Chain A
Amino acid sequence: MIKKEESIVQLLTQKPWDPNQAKLDNMHDGKTINLSIGKLGQRYIIIVSTILFCLFIVTYSDRMIYSDWQNMPEPMLLWFNSLVLLVSSIVFISVQIASNKKQFNKVKKGLLIVGGLSFVFLFGQLLVWQKMINLGYFMSSNPANAYFYLFTTLHGLHLIGGLIYWVITIKKVWISEEIVIRNAQHTVELCGIYWHFLLFVWLVLLGLMSFS
């Protein structure tokens, strides 16, 4: 959101040399968007990740039209893993609510559950890999297989990055005292948004691989 309800067009059409405009500009506090730098930084990272996944998806849709493409089967375990990730995201919503109410005992428990579920998800993904390899679905056998391993790896790496931030969040929540409560709440909020983002990415990738 642009400060003071100014649109991009309004911003870019200001005449900085105009004396009347100058009087208004002199009072400007120098911020463009009503977001903390932490939140804005997170938006930046999410945008970069989104572009990255979108480009992979574009190449996927281009590559799949060639005649050698053969879809991979999706084992039930993959759906179970997806359910685990969905639950972790739902738990994170309750964590965020608890954090806003400063109920940090609930936050601590919730964060541990989220972390545990995330590890279960990652372990589950490795089991899916093992199963597919045992069935002979190697990365080099077919481009569809290659994309499956590529997507799951990329998503897994993003989740591992999220888990690093989760550790930071845990640390902040565990030492939260009155002066750093806002800081901890902020971190919980950022971590939560990233978790939901990763769930969204996974659902898009899963849908792409399942229904394309």
Chain B
Amino acid sequence: MATNGYEDVAKGDAIPALEVQPQELYHAKSFWTRYIFCQDAKVIAIQYALTATTIGLVGLVSSWLIRMQIAFPGVIPMDASAYYQLVTMHGMIMVIYLLTALFLGGFGNYLIPLMVGARDMVFPYLNMVSYWVFLLAVLILVASYFVPGGPTGAGWTLYPPQAITSGTPGSGLGIILMIVSLAVFVVGFTMGGLNYVITTLQARTRGMTLMRLPLTVWGIFTATVLALFAFPALLVAGIMMLLDNILGTSFFMPAILEAGLGEQMAYNGGSPILFQHLFWFFGHPEVYIVALPAFGIVSDLISVHARKNIFGYRMMVWAIVIIGFLSFIVWAHHMYVAGMNPWFGFFFATTTLIIAIPTALKVYNWVLTLWRGNIQLTVPMLFAIGFLITFVNGGITGLFLGNVIVDVPLSDTYFVVAHFHMVMGIAPVLVVFGSIYHWYPLITGRFLNNRLGKIHFWITFLGSYSIYFPMHYLGFMGVPRRYFEIYDSEFYTASTSDLNQFITIAALVTGFAQLVFLYNIIVSIKHGKKAEKNPWKACSLEWQTTEMPPEHGNFGKELPVVYRWAYDFSVPGADEDYIPQNTSPNEVANAQVEKT
């Protein structure tokens, strides 16, 4: 065991609260400063969540319109431009403005201070500004719907040269507003990220070592560090493309003929591949910026609702860190068909497959946590298990696409669409739902309706599989993605047409089922069953606040002192099947912690 100089003082069991200078807490004085321009991380979290969900609904409706065009062309009148604009905005909204903002801005803000035992984020004012900058980014994005030419239709990857040439929808103001919105988002996120990182590193309460942190915090913390390194690449690519577009530079733009006009444009020598490298240097870690918080949160959901300590805690932490590191050296597996050197393909295929090791380790540990656990089939647990299955399915198809020789024929088919929706769409969204059912009592003091929750789960889970399982088959059949209309193609058989119609109906049903969830959330605020303190009997600190919902400052007069990790469930000898993190050894004298 490593010595660290504490031995001489580590004799007693009950530890006094640390004498630290009290943090100067922000105190709201009016409605505006309490609910609108508020510096309390919990309120900011709700603001992030509401904004992200609202723009997320735009993304959801976009997906319905896309599916209608694919399966029933002509029912909803749209031209090819509108279709590409819908596809682009759906992708961008879901990845950046919904999932990233929700996991880091929403869950990060609510849970980090509570779980580490802090009164608030370390820079509350900056935290508030980060939300308003995020809102500005969303408003700029929405504004692009109303400018001449509409929003960009370049695909969420925004590849040049087509993103800024005249044949592409939204190549005027649309693409400019898209890039400006992303730049503003990055600025806002940098302010928020500063808080998430430094609060986790420096503002933990006494006894809360890094290795006593709940895995939720580890996931959000590591994802924020990834974003710290990845988002600048998006910013750099965006700035340079903006200059190509507005000032006529040739960073990415090669010598090219204007579509339709046949005239040579005033560009020369730029490298579109360079943009792709920059974009995916951001884009692939972005997958893990979404996935790592989901990994962390689902670990806690499984542990709490199976009444069992998380299996292999240290390995879970290591896996999060290793996955985070590896996510930066796999980006070009998105570019196998871009014409790069085959040796590069070999390198990136190898690193991609190596990521499967820590990822599989996490899956095994989740399953082993469930093994012989006292599994409570609550709604959060159902969603957690749904995630586990979905993530394995989506991850396995990733192994297919990570291999160059398999990826080349499958590239640009619906197999890819099915893969990434399963692994970074449905899987994290299931965690979002599970965690809302789990933490809703903490936020509101009431439970969400259990029956509605189970209906919501089963329709969402089965509906998602109805959508994406057949899509793999379509991919194998060679049905290409991104096509506005393909009914005249020879390979487009009756079976693929029927499948597309089935998928669209499943998507509509699953989408509308989310209204059950929204109804549940709204109605339960006032009419939900009242939750007692710590209703799930969890160990982590967010449930040990003096008030529930936690008041401003979180922990009353004294910050809690932490004596154990967040997973002391079903400890032999203990009176109850959980021991909160702030329970001193004296209070559970018979517990045999080392035997857990």
Q: Could you say which of B5, B208, B249, B317 has the most chain A C-beta atoms within 10 Å of its C-beta?
A: B249
Is the pair B249, A27 in contact by a Cβ cutoff of 8 Å?
no
| Pairs of residues from A and B, 5 with the lowest C-beta to C-beta distance, nearest first | A30-B204, A140-B248, A68-B269, A16-B565, A146-B249
Is the pair A25, B594 in contact by a Cβ cutoff of 8 Å?
no
- Chain A residue at minimum C-beta to C-beta distance from B317: A12
Is the pair B209, A16 in contact by a Cβ cutoff of 8 Å?
yes
Is the pair A55, B233 in contact by a Cβ cutoff of 8 Å?
yes
Q: Does B142 contact A (CB under 8 A)?
A: no
**Which of A40-48, A108-116, A172-180, A185-193 lies at the interface with chain B?**
A40-48
Is the pair B247, A140 in contact by a Cβ cutoff of 8 Å?
yes
Q: For chain A, what secondary structure do more than half of its interface residues adopt (helix, strand, loop), or is it mixed?
A: helix
| A-side contacts of B489, CB under 8 Å | none
* Given A12-B211, A13-B314, A16-B211, A33-B202 contact (CB < 8 Å): yes
- Chain A residue at minimum C-beta to C-beta distance from B274: A62
Residues in chain A within 8 A of chain B (CB atoms) = 4-6, 10-33, 35, 37, 40-41, 44-45, 47-48, 51-52, 55-56, 59, 62-63, 66-69, 139-140, 143, 146, 150
**CA of A93 to CA of B544, assembled, Å:** 48
Is the pair B210, A51 in contact by a Cβ cutoff of 8 Å?
no
Point out the residue from B194, B207, B210, B274 that lies within 8 Å of A11, measured CB to CB.
B210
Indicate with 1 or 0, residue by residue over B198-218, a CB within 8 angstroms of chain A CB atoms. Answer: 100111111111111000000
- Chain A residue at minimum C-beta to C-beta distance from B200: A32
Is the pair B6, A4 in contact by a Cβ cutoff of 8 Å?
yes
| A-side contacts of B585, CB under 8 Å | 22
Is the pair A30, B208 in contact by a Cβ cutoff of 8 Å?
yes
Is the pair A16, B564 in contact by a Cβ cutoff of 8 Å?
yes
CB distance from A145 to the nearest CB of B (A): 8
Is the pair B194, A45 in contact by a Cβ cutoff of 8 Å?
yes
* Given A14-B209, A22-B593, A67-B269, A30-B251 contact (CB < 8 Å): no
Indicate with 1 or 0, residue by residue over B309-331, a CB within 8 angstroms of chain A CB atoms. Answer: 10001100110010000000000
Q: For chain B, what secondary structure do more than half of its interface residues adopt (helix, strand, loop), or is it mixed?
A: loop
| B-side contacts of A63, CB under 8 Å | 251, 270-271, 274
* Given A16-B212, A51-B229, A55-B232, A26-B561 contact (CB < 8 Å): yes
CB distance from A153 to the nearest CB of B (A): 10
| B-side contacts of A16, CB under 8 Å | 209, 211-212, 313, 564-565
**CA of A21 to CA of B3, assembled, Å:** 10
Point out the residue from B232, B243, B281 that lies within 8 Å of A150, measured CB to CB.
B243
Is the pair A59, B278 in contact by a Cβ cutoff of 8 Å?
yes
Given contacts A27-B207, A29-B206, 4 further A-B contacts (CB under 8 A): A4-B4, A23-B13, A55-B232, A68-B250
- Chain A residue at minimum C-beta to C-beta distance from B5: A4
Q: Could you say which of B7, B193, B210, B568 has the most chain A C-beta atoms within 10 Å of its C-beta?
A: B210
| B-side contacts of A66, CB under 8 Å | 269, 271
Residues in chain B within 8 A of chain A (CB atoms) = 1-2, 4-7, 9-11, 13, 15, 18, 20, 116-117, 122-123, 190, 193-194, 197-198, 201-212, 228-229, 232-233, 235-236, 239-240, 243, 247-251, 266, 268-271, 274, 278, 281, 309, 313-314, 317-318, 321, 561-565, 567-568, 585, 593-594, 596
**CA of A24 to CA of B11, assembled, Å:** 9
CB distance from B347 to the nearest CB of A (A): 18
Is the pair A62, B271 in contact by a Cβ cutoff of 8 Å?
yes
| A-side contacts of B13, CB under 8 Å | 23, 26
| B-side contacts of A13, CB under 8 Å | 314
Is the pair A48, B202 in contact by a Cβ cutoff of 8 Å?
no
CB distance from A149 to the nearest CB of B (A): 9
**CA of A27 to CA of B314, assembled, Å:** 21
Is the pair A17, B232 in contact by a Cβ cutoff of 8 Å?
no
Is the pair A143, B249 in contact by a Cβ cutoff of 8 Å?
yes
**CA of A52 to CA of B565, assembled, Å:** 37
Point out the residue from B193, B563, B567, B596 that lies within 8 Å of A26, measured CB to CB.
B563
CB distance from B195 to the nearest CB of A (A): 9
- Chain A residue at minimum C-beta to C-beta distance from B234: A55
Is the pair B6, A27 in contact by a Cβ cutoff of 8 Å?
yes
Is the pair A25, B235 in contact by a Cβ cutoff of 8 Å?
no
Point out the residue from B7, B207, B317 that lies within 8 Å of A28, measured CB to CB.
B207
**CA of A63 to CA of B249, assembled, Å:** 12
**CA of A84 to CA of B436, assembled, Å:** 56
| A-side contacts of B117, CB under 8 Å | 30
Is the pair B243, A27 in contact by a Cβ cutoff of 8 Å?
no
Is the pair B249, A30 in contact by a Cβ cutoff of 8 Å?
no
| A-side contacts of B198, CB under 8 Å | 37, 40-41, 44
**CA of A23 to CA of B201, assembled, Å:** 21
CB distance from B171 to the nearest CB of A (A): 18
Q: List 28 A-B contacts (CB under 8 A).
A: A6-B2, A11-B211, A13-B314, A14-B209, A16-B565, A17-B309, A17-B568, A17-B596, A23-B11, A24-B4, A29-B20, A30-B116, A30-B117, A30-B209, A31-B204, A32-B202, A33-B202, A35-B202, A37-B122, A41-B198, A44-B193, A44-B228, A52-B232, A55-B278, A59-B251, A68-B269, A139-B243, A146-B249
